[in-house]
Amino acid sequence: MPGKIALVAGASSGLGRAVAECLAAAGHRVYAGARSFAQGKEPPKGCQALALDVTDDNSVRAAVGEIISREGRIDVLVCCAATFTMAPLEELPAETLADMMNVNLLGDARCVQAALPRMRTQGGGHIVLFSSLNGLFSIPFQGAYSATKHAIEAYSQALSQETRRFGIRVTVVEPGDCRGGSQRYRLTHIEENSPYGEAFRAGTQKIHHDESHGLPPERVGRAVARAVGKKRPPARLVVASLEQRFGAWLHILLPRGLFNRIMEAYYR
């Protein structure tokens, strides 16, 4: 079902950029939103750039309003904007966690609230929210990021229940480790002489290794494009290696204490 009007928030790099390009390649009219497009950054191939700051209510409303003004409708909203800081939870500044929640959760909520009225009026739409396998289980030193993605899981489930009667479908995407992504939004925080120092260095080194050997972002982009093209899109879309899917299965099957010990040992 090509020819849909789509907005991809967080489309300047990584998964968001890959999703935007794959949707455009599938024949959809794609508006790629990101703050960096206001400074002249080149948009994803085949897409139209929109200046969009998901932390700013006015910016979000203006971007969605611009699309509706040009096209008369908005069929697909994909929320990919995200940031994270790896840190021991004891040492993570509260304001850093608040900033992550503002982008990763509230940013999605702002976009959803801006797009939903038009989707209801037109009798349908498709909202795609990006969670992560870390939205299913947490790992050391990514607890804050995992908390934002756990929140997306709950938000998307309730959103689906509330909007299905209006012909709106909601898909939550749960990618595993993927290559690429801007390092501007992938930070670390560790106090000097931290008691977590050795474990933090080992854990973050393992995380970086797994990400650098992860899936190409285009694989996630193609999976999202296929889901958008379906008459009945899936409620959940897992895109991950077999090894990482196995981790999710263990989280379900094993006692919580045993699973936590396995994760601690893996990242040690």
Q: Which of 31, 145, 155, 267 is labelled catalytic?
A: 145
**Identified catalytic residue from 13, 132, 138, 149:** 149
Whether 131 is catalytic is yes
Per-residue 3-state assignment (H helix, E strand, C coil) for 240-252: CCHHHHHHHHHHH
- 12 catalytic per annotation: yes
**Structure token digits, residue 161:** 């229940």
Contact 14, 184 (CB under 8 A): no
Residue from 4, 12, 132, 267 carrying the catalytic annotation:
12
- Is 185 catalytic? The answer is no
- Coil vs helix vs strand at 81: coil
Token output for 238: 């897992």
On whether the CB atoms of residues 130 and 175 are closer than 8 A, the answer is yes
Annotated catalytic residue within 13, 131, 146, 156? 131
Residues forming a β-bridge with 79: 9, 129
Q: Using CA atoms, how far apart are residues 108 and 81, in angstroms rounded to an integer?
A: 8
Is 145 annotated as catalytic?
yes
Cα four-point dihedral sign 71, 120, 55, 161: negative
By annotation, the residues acting in catalysis are: 12, 131, 145, 149
